[in-house]
Amino acid sequence: MVDADQTFVIVGGGLAGAKAAETLRTEGFTGRVILICDERDHPYERPPLSKGYLLGKDTRESVFVHEPAWYAQNDVELHLGQTVDAIDRVAKTVRFGDDGTLAHYDKLLIATGAEPRRLDVPGTHLAGVHHLRRLAHAERLKGVLAALGRDNGHLVIAGGGWIGLEVAAAAREYGAEVTVVEPEPTPLHGVLGPELGALFADLHREHGVRFHFGARLTEIVGQDGMVLAARTDDGEEHPAHDVLAAIGAAPRTALAEAAGLELADRAHGGGVAVDSSLRTSDPDVYAAGDVASFPHGLFDTRLRVEHWANALNGGPAAARSMLGRAAAYDRVPYFFSDQYDLGMEYSGWAPPGTYDEVVIRGDAGKREFIAFWVKEGRVLAGMNVNVWDVTEPIQKLIASRTAVDTEALADPHVPLESLSA
């Protein structure tokens, strides 16, 4: 029975942690809520960092999950710029801050997120090498892109995933020269496969981005502490004034691992292993957001999802589980991206090798279409490009797990809603 004598501690001040704290209060929890964030900024959302905020279209204030006063108004004890360095599961305490403050917990939520993978090549110490994960990174990068655009400078991006492409689009809008180095044959290859990855390559080429596929960075060349060029493993050298490492993110599991919590296999993305209610191997410890690996019934596998919607929904789901209102967390994964005049939403999970075919509804040439990744007639994922208000029927198709007629799926005149009936 949850009551006012209990203390719930949340480690991690991102979207998942902030929404978990909000849910505890809206669900009526009257005990202590302690939210510990290792950044000095109040909890914020990350999509604007590579989209609207990076482009200067969104204000800094717009990225925050809550108004700063919200935490005190809702009796959430917020500790900013404080790192948790140990969890004692026997004593049920966390240790944080420079002075080693101990906080007791009755229930604990780990929402430590992920951190950008680092380039392991010579030259990463140079001043013009960047990552994009935190608000401070975006603030710095925004100034860099503006300067590159003003001075006709060159940006080399290592990695053709979502972050790499969104920053490429932003850089081109500022007027910078951009080269993307990607080891796969297309951008977004591991998410969309070659069929749709090529579409994004064409989009960016039309806007002046250069791609170097089938290669990896091996060295960043500099002089007097500044970047001059980036070299690849096929002997090429690309002029560069700045380099962005956009080679993915790794779950921040060190704290959980040191506490002896079970981790997921790296083949499934790693992360802290949780059950369908987001509970870890310790019944009083939960995990949500980028760091959590959960079993997903729709796809018969364990998933670790690094997207905004998972943090938005996973934090509240974990909070309800902490309150004893556990339910299976089985939402269809969802994310979105904006690049130039292309907007898209993706629902589901269908990496290369898991599907039989890609079915297109609409005109891919005009970039107004829906793509469906299908296996044995069953829709595993759908991506709508410049077509709106279709996420709900797409997700219903995925959740129904029923085989559909692929000709009807491809026909824009057949209502999507009729296919999942």
The boundaries of every CATH 3.50.50.60 domain in the chain are 7-115+250-322, 129-242
Q: What is the mean pLDDT of residues 242-246?
A: 98
Q: What is the mean pLDDT of residues 285-292?
A: 97
**pLDDT tens by residue, 106-115:** 999 999 999 9
Residue 4 has pLDDT above 90, yes or no: no
Q: How many CA atoms lie within 13 A of 273 on its CB side?
A: 14
Q: What is the pLDDT of residue 421?
A: 66
Beta bridge partners of 133: none
Residue 52 has pLDDT above 60, yes or no: yes
SS3 call for 59 = coil
Q: What is the mean pLDDT of residues 323-333?
A: 90
| C-beta of residue 54 within 8 angstroms of C-beta of residue 145 | yes
CATH 3.30.390.30 fits 341-419, yes or no: yes
**pLDDT tens by residue, 356-396:** 999 999 999 999 999 999 999 999 999 999 999 999 999 99
Query: What's this model's pTM, rounded to 2 decimal places?
Result: 0.95
Strand locations in 192-317, DSSP E?
210-213, 217-223, 226-232, 237-239, 242-245, 249-251, 272-273, 285-287, 292-296, 301-303
Q: What is the mean pLDDT of residues 244-269?
A: 94
Q: What is the pLDDT of residue 310?
A: 93
Share of the chain above pLDDT 90, in %: 92
Q: What is the pLDDT of residue 22?
A: 98
Tell me the two tokens of residue 265: 């296999």
Residue tagged 């080679």 (tokens): 247
Residue 212 has pLDDT above 80, yes or no: yes
The boundaries of every CATH 3.30.390.30 domain in the chain are 341-419
Q: Give the CATH number of domain 129-242.
A: 3.50.50.60
Tell me the two tokens of residue 31: 């005990």
Q: What is the mean pLDDT of residues 76-104?
A: 97
CA 16 to chain centre: 12
Mean pLDDT over each residue of the chain, to the nearest integer: 95
Q: What is the pLDDT of residue 72?
A: 97
Tell me the two tokens of residue 275: 């059950």
**pLDDT tens by residue, 151-196:** 999 999 999 999 999 999 999 999 999 999 999 999 999 899 888 9
Rounded to 5, what percent of the chain is helix, strand, coil?
30, 30, 40
Residue tagged 């993307």 (tokens): 180
Neighbours of 9 (CB within 10 A): 25
Tell me the two tokens of residue 7: 């203390």
Write the CB contacts of 245 (distance below 8 Å, at least 6 apart in sequence). 116, 117, 118, 119, 124, 129, 130, 131, 158, 159
Q: Give the CATH number of domain 7-115+250-322.
A: 3.50.50.60
Q: What is the mean pLDDT of residues 244-259?
A: 96
Q: How far is it, in rounded angstroms, from Cα 96 to Cα 216?
A: 39
Residue 268 has pLDDT above 90, yes or no: no
Write the CB contacts of 281 (distance below 8 Å, at least 6 apart in sequence). 261, 262, 273
Residue 1 has pLDDT above 50, yes or no: no
